[in-house]
């Protein structure tokens, strides 16, 4: 069997086992950034739906014709989104996980209206207050959420958490779970190749797994 498929199936089996007693199903976003379509396609052909990218241009190049062919595919934007790339992003992506400021929210709304498309959004929250990282500070989340939901009607589905590498992610996963619950949001985006199983312990509904499926990235 193809090695990408083999690794994916093993992760899927692990997750199915871990979630056997839970109500939620956990969806795997296969993070295919930097990899060519040739490397990714065994998973697409097998019927997997959710894929993640972190650059608009790369996503467009790799996925636009494939998405027309396979209309069920869902593409997730995981990286920083600049407002000048929003138009393209709204045309190619189905989910944006990096929503973290009003200007971006307004620009997304404007382009949704112009294109007659509606996306789903995760608010990225900087739970550890890391200076270099994207994300809202925890205290800004309720008012930002209120604005997106009630003022401009963006479909916010949950919170996205990308904890610092050097510490145990569990405290951040717990914070994300509690914040999400307090806002009555249903989806959570957390857990990567090294810690998806911990994220599942804290109720995540999407895990974002790249290298454990596709292999190490060169860049
Ligand atoms: C690259 C990336 C991932 C996947 O990381 P792996 O460690 O390869 O699983 C997940 N989330 C975000 C935001 C990323 O940029």
Q: What mean pLDDT is predicted for residues 140-160?
A: 98
Q: How far apart are CA 44 and CA 37, in angstroms?
A: 9
Whether the pLDDT of residue 24 is over 80: the answer is: no
Q: What mean pLDDT is predicted for residues 189-217?
A: 97
Whether 124 lines ligand 1, by a CB cut-off of 6 Å, is no
Ligand 1 atom closest to 217 (CA): 8
Write down the pLDDT at residue 98. 98
In the chain, which residue ranges form alpha helices assigned H by DSSP?
Answer: 3-18, 37-45, 56-69, 86-92, 102-115, 141-146, 170-182, 196-201, 211-214
Mean pLDDT, rounded, of the chain: 96
Lowest-pLDDT range of 20-34, 51-65, 180-194: 20-34
Ligand 1 atom closest to 211 (CA): 8
Q: Rounded to two decimals, what is the model's pTM?
A: 0.97
Write down the pLDDT at residue 23. 78
Write down the pLDDT at residue 99. 98
Whether 193 lines ligand 1, by a CB cut-off of 6 Å, is yes
Whether the pLDDT of residue 130 is over 90: the answer is: no
Whether 51 lines ligand 1, by a CB cut-off of 6 Å, is no
Residues 213 and 43: beta-carbon distance below 8 Å: yes
Whether 4 lines ligand 1, by a CB cut-off of 6 Å, is no
Write down the pLDDT at residue 13. 97
Q: Which of 78, 163, 219 to mutate for ligand 1's pocket (most ligand atoms within 8 Å of CB)?
A: 78
Write down the pLDDT at residue 166. 86
Lowest-pLDDT range of 13-27, 46-60, 200-214: 13-27
Write down the pLDDT at residue 165. 86
Whether 28 lines ligand 1, by a CB cut-off of 6 Å, is no
Q: What mean pLDDT is predicted for residues 115-143?
A: 94
Whether 213 lines ligand 1, by a CB cut-off of 6 Å, is no
Q: Whose CA is nearest to atom 12 of ligand 1?
A: 78
Say how many Å lie between the CA of residue 97 and the centre of ligand 1.
12
Write down the pLDDT at residue 75. 98
Lowest-pLDDT range of 93-97, 112-116, 127-131: 127-131
Whether the pLDDT of residue 81 is over 90: the answer is: yes
Q: What mean pLDDT is predicted for residues 86-99?
A: 98
Whether 208 lines ligand 1, by a CB cut-off of 6 Å, is yes
Q: What mean pLDDT is predicted for residues 32-60?
A: 97
Write down the pLDDT at residue 131. 85
Whether 78 lines ligand 1, by a CB cut-off of 6 Å, is yes
């Amino acid at each position: 069997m193809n090695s990408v498929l083999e690794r994916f199936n093993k992760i899927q089996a692990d997750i199915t086992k871990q979630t056997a007693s839970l109500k939620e199903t956990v969806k795997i976003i296969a993070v295919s950034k930097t990899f060519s379509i040739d490397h990714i396609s065994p998973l697409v052909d097998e019927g997997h739906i959710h894929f993640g990218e972190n650059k608009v241009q790369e996503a467009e190049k790799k996925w636009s014709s494939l998405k027309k062919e396979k209309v069920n595919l869902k593409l997730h934007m995981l990286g920083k989104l600049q407002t000048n790339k929003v138009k393209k992003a709204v045309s190619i992506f189905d989910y944006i996980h990096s929503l973290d400021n009003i200007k971006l929210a307004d620009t997304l709304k404007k382009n949704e209206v112009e294109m007659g498309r509606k996306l789903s959004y995760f608010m990225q929250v900087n739970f550890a207050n890391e200076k270099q990282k994207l994300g809202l500070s925890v205290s800004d989340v309720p008012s930002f959420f209120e604005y997106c939901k009630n003022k401009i009607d963006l479909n916010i589905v949950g919170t996205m958490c990308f904890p610092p590498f050097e510490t145990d992610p569990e405290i951040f996963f717990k914070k994300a779970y509690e914040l999400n619950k307090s806002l009555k949001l249903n989806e959570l985006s957390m857990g990567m190749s090294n810690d998806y199983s911990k994220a599942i312990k804290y109720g995540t509904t999407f895990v974002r797994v790249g290298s454990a499926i596709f292999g190490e990235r060169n860049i």
